[in-house]
Each structure stands twice: as structure tokens, then as C-alpha cells.
Amino acid sequence: MKTIDELVADGVSGKRVFVRADLNVPLDGQTITDDGRIRAAVPTIRKLAESGARVVVASHLGRPKGAPDPQFSLAPVADRLGELLGTSVPFATDTVGDSAKATVGALADGEVTLLENLRFNAGETSKDDAERGAFADELAGLADAYVGDGFGAVHRKHASVYDLPARLPHAAGYLIATEVGVLKKLTEDVERPYAVVLGGAKVSDKLGVIDHLMQKADRLLIGGGMAYTFLKAQGYAVGDSLVQEDQLSTVKGYLQRAEELGVEFVLPVDVLATSEFPDLKAKAPTEPQTVPAGEIPDGLMGLDIGPESRRLYASKLADAATVFWNGPMGVFEHPDFAEGTRAVAQALLDSPAFTVVGGGDSAAAVRQLGFDEAKFGHISTGGGASLEYLEGKTLPGLAALEDAPA
């Protein structure tokens, strides 16, 4: 995989360099509520600009239906990117149309522009190779070289991620190089004990990574909504908690396999439960009850791990040498159910381990709960991409940069 430094060494001054970033940030109207992904893209963009390139940045945002949709416009991102770079970032109001061509054509050496949302064009996400390729051809007309740096999208076989690199000289940006280097530490020559913390709502979202990491990890700590499927699979009462009934037999098999492999499987011993799911916008106080994890009464649902579970999980992370965490322990968006997630984050900080926060809601929780990101070993920008890499899957965007078949 060619690096951005090698591309720069070959000479980029005066050349149009297309940077596929991941600027898929959360918006509240026109307000960016978490700019972590924009900040993560800055080092690559700045390096190219300082080397005299004419930098054409592109990204997706949200899930528009292949046509322009104002609520998914990247216009606010252009403003924030400019603030972080300390310069104006002209914004093209389309992807490959007149505005994009004019804006890119007006760039001087060292300047940066941002194109409108790539997913406003149906060709970006099309499953038809010809349609996707045609859009990639149009994008290639805007550039002389390509830098892949949108790690959060490399598991997608999309035009700007998979097809475009084949049409231009290409290299990996700093973010992708960092992410891949970190993930290799979690899959090759891992320092032990190796603990994996998995949370989130649905166990089905994590089956692949559980299956793969069971062969590598020493401990698996399970929290979040997915924990209740594991608890019910063991015959415990989980009340009205979230359970994926269709996964119970699969989960039983995983528990048995973990025992055979000598992998420690850690589940909550107590939870915070309530009768109604809270209003996450109003954040009105609730009256959660602490109950044993295997004795949740009917009418109550578990929404966070309890105080004993927090202490248990912290003890299981205290002596770890490597920790990967993906998924919150509860409904961290509400202050009454944030303490489990906070406890895991604090345990990672207190541990001497190499700690990796696997993107998505986990990364958002770290920032929302006020932790210093720099104190973690690494916070990934791509939850889904990280998980698929750890499952052992070939990621199309990385295969394209390596000139390998996906």
C-alpha cells in the first residue's frame, strides 16, 4: 500500500489530488455536534496542501437516497474544515456537475475545496458495476491522483472508495495508515492478556467479531442491550429487556465454545432497570432500580450495567495488556444510564494496556462524557470498518489501495 509520503515525494505540486475522507459527522440541523472525524482528516489534507497540491476533498454524510437532500448537505462541514485548516474552503454544491468542475478548476496550488455529498449521486452506492464505474469515471475527471483516507467507509464497495483508486495513481492517507496499523496490533502478535469489551443494542451486529475474536482474546466482556440475549440464553429472567430471540441458540453455542477454548466470558451481574425507555432529548430524571442481572422482573427493562458490574468489568481490565472496546454498556445518551459506559472508559484510562476504542457510539460516548481522547491508545473513526477487519473480512477500500481483489 503506497503511503501519502511516497505520493508527495513523487511530486504533487500543481496536481489535483482527490481525497476520499470520512466526514460523516452528526448534525443537529446545521450544527455539527461532534467534529471528531473532521479533525481526523486534517493531517492528510494539510500535508497535501502544504506540498502544493490542489486538494479536492469528498465524503458522504448520512443516507440520502441517491439524490440531493438539504438535510444531508456537507456545507456545514466545509465551514468547520476551513476553521481547522485556518483557511477558506470553497464548497461545490454538487459532486461532478458544473459547480464541482468550476470550483476545482479555480483552485490554486495549496488550496482545498470540498464537494457536496457523494451519495447525492446514485452511482456512488450502486450495486451495478457499470453505474458505479461511470460515476467513478466522472470523479476521476476532477483529479490527477487519489488518496484514500476515509477509514469509516473502506468496508463499502462504493465508487469513490473502491472504483476510483483503480482509475488514478493512489495512496493511503495518514488516517488509514494509522487505523490499519492499530488493527494489526489487535490481530497479529497481540500482547496478552487481551480483553475485548463489546456492547451496543443488538448481538446480531457483533456475531462475526465475537466468532473471530474468540480465537484470539483471553476475555470477552459483554454489556449493552446485547447482554440480555446472552443472559436469557443461560436461562435467566430478563424482564422486558431487549432480546433477540432468533439468536438464542447461536449465543448458547458461543458460550459453550468459549468454555472449550478457555476464553473468559464476562456478563453483567447487576443492571439498572426501569419500566419505560427514557426521553433522550428531554433527559428528564428517571427512577432506575438496581436489580440482579438474572432476576429482572417483568415490566422492567435493563438499560445499563449496575455498580457491581462496573467494578467487575474494571477488575477484568486492570491487568490487561491489550483492550479493544466497541459499543456502550447502556443508554449513555441519558445521564441516568451513562455510568456503565463511563466506568469502562475510565477503566481503559486506568489500565496500562494498549487501548483501542472502536469507533461508532463508543467514540461518541468518550467525547460526550468528557474524556480526554489523547489519553486512549487509539480512537477509531470507523466502527463498522473496524469490526469487519477484526472479523477477518477483506475490506474493498483497503483492497483497492493495495491493488488486491476484493
pLDDT tens readout for residues 202-223: 889 888 889 999 989 999 999 9
359 is in an annotated binding site: yes
Average pLDDT over residues 186-206: 92
Tell me, yes or no, whether 148 and 296 share the same domain. Answer: no
Same domain, 6 and 119: yes
| Selected catalytic residue, list 202, 216, 367, 393 | 202
Question: Quick one: what percent of the chain has pLDDT higher than 70?
Answer: 100
237 and 116, same structural domain?
no
86 has catalytic annotation: no
CA dist 150 and 263 (Å) reads 34
339 is in an annotated binding site: no
Tens digit of each residue's pLDDT (9 = 90 or more) over 323-364: 999 999 999 999 999 999 999 999 999 999 999 998 778 888
Q: Which of 52, 383, 384, 397 is catalytic?
A: 384
The x, y and z cell numbers of residue 336, run together, are: 441516568
> Are 188 and 101 part of one and the same domain?
no
Question: Is residue 405 in some structural domain?
Answer: no
Q: Count other C-beta atoms under 10 Å from residue 343's C-beta.
A: 22
- Strand 378-379 to strand 354-357: parallel, antiparallel, or no bridges (unpaired)? parallel
Tally of domains within the chain: 2
What pLDDT sits at residue 367? Answer: 87
Q: Which domain holds residue 266?
A: 181-389
Annotated ligand binding at 22? The verdict is yes
H/E stretch holding 90: none
What percentage of the chain exceeds 90 in pLDDT?
A: 86
Q: What's the full length of the chain, in residues?
A: 406
Q: What is the value of pTM for the model shown?
A: 0.89
The answer to whether 24 and 161 have CB atoms below 8 angstroms apart is no
CA distance linking residue 165 with residue 359, whole number of Å: 25
Domain annotation covers residue 188:
yes
Amino acid at 335: P
Confirm whether 394 is domain-assigned: no
pLDDT at 153 over 90: yes
In this predicted structure, the answer to whether residue 156 has a pLDDT above a threshold of 80 is yes
The residue among 142, 76, 74, 137 whose CA lies nearest residue 107 is 142
In a domain, 403, yes or no: no
Task: Specify whether 123 is located in the same domain as 233.
Answer: no
One domain, residues 33 and 158: yes
**Is 61 labelled a binding residue?**
yes
Cβ atoms 293, 247 nearer than 8 A: no
Write out the H or E segment, with its range, that includes residue 282. Answer: none
| Residue 37 designated active-site | yes
Closest CA to 271 of 235, 244, 233, 242: 242
Beta-carbon contacts of 383 under 8 Å, excluding residues fewer than 6 positions away, are 152, 326, 358, 359, 360, 361, 362, 363
Residues 169 and 187 in one domain: no
pLDDT for residue 405 is more than 80: no
Q: Kindly tell me if the per-residue pLDDT of 403 is higher than 90.
A: no
Residues 92 and 159 in one domain: yes
127 and 198 share one domain:
no
- Annotation marks residue 97 as catalytic: no
Candidate list 360, 382, 383, 397, residue with the active-site label: 360
Residues 279 and 314 grouped into a single domain = yes
- Cα separation of 124 and 96, whole Å? 11
| 360 catalytic residue (yes or no) | yes
Q: Mean pLDDT score of the chain, rounded to an integer? A: 95
Which residues, at least 6 apart from 274, have a Cβ–Cβ distance to it below 8 Å? 286, 287, 288, 289, 300, 301, 303, 336
CA 11 to chain centre: 32
CATH code of the domain in which 195 resides = 3.40.50.1260
Binding site annotation covers 310?
Answer: no
Is 360 annotated as a binding-site member? Answer: yes
Mean pLDDT score, 181-196: 92
Residues 159 and 188 in one domain: no
Find the catalytic residue in 15, 16, 20, 37: 37
